[in-house]
Structure 1
């Protein structure tokens, strides 16, 4: 028997799987990667040796208004480590600079005070200027042209009026942008809802290159790079993290070149060979990405790449914040087939909120049985969306075995967000 451990909230779920039914456990190399130094030292090394860019302290000279784009409550970015070192670097050459942290919520809900304190720490929260982006606030935006795809580009005014724009974040495989990090801090991070909707259209979500691990030819990525250039994103500090959300490598410098260097590193660690199984067990890597159903489009996408058509996907997901998107809930409550039919007939200039997550989840629901394992969310809410539910992994496994039959094979992807299944 193999003992399997799956992240769940801030804890773990364990189960035993018979060896003759276990086809494989897909774990990225990042989960066992031995960093060459401590977290702070890794960040300092990156800042001391920026990719294709002068040092940040040089860029900051003479700049009065400096804006640092930072991730929101849904991302496990170790801001408590990164932000003080960014401030130290900037203030070493420009102690009088007016520095603002702009929280890139994208199309997500507003980050709460408690979440900001958890992210920055009490001292930084009290002493630094922090602004939470609101993509629906028209008065805080500026028009910046049109995206290569034709959509209107509207960006947060604070970023556009900055003398120096910086972004911190982390790089992981992303189900349709290829990788997170870099240019994604701008789009969707700090743009208008209009711009997010244009970029996240049905045509792009369905594009053959809009997949995890792919940048070249990816139309969503091309829009994002353009938006970052229009915003004059001058410098990034992105990190790669392990299963414990600890920094294992850092990349600083030019917004494109440093990001590409980071993506190359993450890709080598994230690639896993998958064989199709009847049952796939996965998770979103635990907190903070497993707080709602919406975010699980990531783990479900990885699981689908390793699951036989008609198979069963089991997602261990706290979902303590519910569905995470009223729009997604309403879409799926009306049925996966109906949602897909409407979305695929929707013009790319008339994208509807959260149709992108709906499109992917509906596609998965039509091909697989999906069971959410949670004891922290209303099961009826999840069932309304077309998923099945279980309170324990054992309960979900029993249901999955009935569907798969006695000769079932299982693949386990403990952290579906961190892998690229080939």
Structure 2
């Protein structure tokens, strides 16, 4: 029977053997806002936990709006211009308004890619648009240390020194921080590499609470909340989109409250309980833009591992149109390939600061410890396939058929949207309630 996985800018058609019993795991039908522009206007004019954007801007002489980088399909083109127009109308000069791309330690977004990210040429014509550079010491200020874990917090000075600080983004499951958006846009999005490599070190990443859809005792989330408190007043515009990338939810308000409201909205759509684990799990890396690199593909593996039976096969399709990812990530993957998982984890456990992008390799070891991971991709060069440290499949269909035959188990789970949907086994949910 045919199914479709998100793949690149389209879909990958796959076939499951006819004798299989398929559990397709996807979001329940989400509401779609009938008039996205009107919904954004309403959010900006009737916020949660603070004054309207116009009132806030009336007290400011400068503003910084942080946006996510190209790895997130945030509908920036819908809301940036209305936000900026309100800020300008309230008296803030356009020369004092900055749109800051919260890259974390990702590469900068430039040229056509930046235009695509903004989604509105008017924005770049009227205000300054710049990329955060986590390695640039001069662009950061020390704002304090977290109390619980003593993380040194250094943030982009353009955000810290702005009178009006706004973060924007997409609220979705995140495999380390529970959910994306809100406070996460600040750290790691606008943080110096010292801060990022501290709270992405082995100690943080190995904490069982640092997982998808969880805030309870999550060390990343706790540090992010402390960082938010250091900054004083910060505001957020949060969005939620459906499978077709249509706007389902938008709000604006005080950062913590507005983010909590957005998470509350999205939870029933992306946390899906299934009755069993599966020996064969088929998923994606969510398609473009998340599946541009193998680095980001690991999120899809981790999201699906909750329902992978021990010794089972996790099959993931990801275009990886830009290949592996950063040179630092490639180096980390080489270490994993040479050392194997146990030795690699023992090695990085000694480090107070993670090497750049090493945390993604550490996260990959989690699904690998449960079963076999198989990758289908037409973007990984032949000479780099070994660096994935997983089996590289020539066909998703063949990988499914071989898994079903190997395990003599006809039950197959298919997760078309990848890490935007996080399945949980009913047994595990019952054990935690």
Tell whether the structures are fold-level matches, with TM greater than 0.5: yes
Deviations 1:117-146 (A, max 9, x none): 111233323332101000000011111111
Deviation at 1:50, TM superposition (A): 0.7
Deviation at 1:40, TM superposition (A): 1.7
State whether residues 154 and 195 of structure 1, in contact with CA within 8 Å, keep that contact through their aligned partners in structure 2. Answer: yes
Deviation at 1:167, TM superposition (A): 1.0
Distance 1:91 1:297 in 2: 41
Q: Which residue of 2 aligns with 1:172?
A: 172
Q: Which residue of 2 aligns with 1:185?
A: 185
Deviations 1:202-248 (A, max 9, x none): 12212222111111321110111121222335211010011122210
Aligned equivalent of 2:355, options 352, 356, 378: 352
State whether residues 154 and 191 of structure 1, in contact with CA within 8 Å, keep that contact through their aligned partners in structure 2. Answer: yes
Q: Which residue of 2 aligns with 1:25?
A: 24
Deviation at 1:89, TM superposition (A): 2.4
Distance 1:153 1:18 in 2: 52
Q: Which residue of 1 aligns with 2:411?
A: 409
Q: Which residue of 1 aligns with 2:310?
A: 309
Q: Which residue of 2 aligns with 1:220?
A: 220
Q: Which residue of 2 aligns with 1:278?
A: 279
State whether residues 379 and 389 of structure 1, in contact with CA within 8 Å, keep that contact through their aligned partners in structure 2. Answer: no
Number of residue pairs matched by the alignment: 416
The reply to whether residue 142 of structure 1 matches residue 141 of structure 2 is yes
State whether residues 82 and 168 of structure 1, in contact with CA within 8 Å, keep that contact through their aligned partners in structure 2. Answer: no
Distance 1:420 1:394 in 2: 23
Deviations 1:170-225 (A, max 9, x none): 10011110100000111000010000011112122122221111113211101111
1:227-246 matched pairs, under 5 angstroms: 227-246=227-246
Distance 2:41 2:394 in 1: 44
Name the TM-score, length of structure 1 as normaliser: 0.94
Deviations 1:393-418 (A, max 9, x none): 2233344345x333342101111221
Distance 1:346 1:263 in 2: 35
Mean Cα displacement is larger for which, 331-340 or 52-61? Answer: 331-340
SS at match of 1:305: helix
What root-mean-square deviation, in Å, do the aligned CA atoms of Structure 1 and Structure 2 show? 1.7
In structure 2, stretches of 5+ residues that fail to align are 425-433
Distance 1:399 1:333 in 2: 28
In structure 1, stretches of 5+ residues that fail to align are none
Distance 1:18 1:114, change over 3 A: same
Distance 1:95 1:219 in 2: 37
Aligned equivalent of 2:99, options 98, 101, 108: 101
Distance 1:146 1:242 in 2: 38
Deviations 1:29-87 (A, max 9, x none): 2xx21224222222222222211111111011131110000111111101111101211
Deviation at 1:105, TM superposition (A): 0.1
State whether residues 311 and 368 of structure 1, in contact with CA within 8 Å, keep that contact through their aligned partners in structure 2. Answer: yes
Distance 1:94 1:284 in 2: 43
Distance 1:125 1:155, change over 3 A: same
Distance 1:181 1:96, change over 3 A: same
Mean Cα displacement is larger for which, 167-176 or 334-343? Answer: 334-343
State whether residues 302 and 417 of structure 1, in contact with CA within 8 Å, keep that contact through their aligned partners in structure 2. Answer: yes
Off by >6 Å, runs of 4+ in structure 1:
none
The reply to whether residue 85 of structure 1 matches residue 82 of structure 2 is yes
Q: Which residue of 1 aligns with 2:431?
A: none
1:154-173 matched pairs, under 5 angstroms: 154-173=154-173
Name the TM-score, length of structure 2 as normaliser: 0.92
Deviation at 1:20, TM superposition (A): 4.3
Distance 2:259 2:75 in 1: 17
Distance 1:90 1:102 in 2: 16
Q: Which residue of 2 aligns with 1:294?
A: 295
Distance 1:271 1:350 in 2: 32
Distance 2:151 2:33 in 1: 43
State whether residues 16 and 397 of structure 2, in contact with CA within 8 Å, keep that contact through their aligned partners in structure 1. Answer: no
Deviation at 1:112, TM superposition (A): 2.0
Distance 2:218 2:170 in 1: 20
Distance 2:181 2:171 in 1: 5
State whether residues 133 and 156 of structure 1, in contact with CA within 8 Å, keep that contact through their aligned partners in structure 2. Answer: yes
Deviations 1:369-406 (A, max 9, x none): 2111112221441322311213432233344345x333
Distance 1:87 1:385, change over 3 A: same
State whether residues 42 and 248 of structure 1, in contact with CA within 8 Å, keep that contact through their aligned partners in structure 2. Answer: no
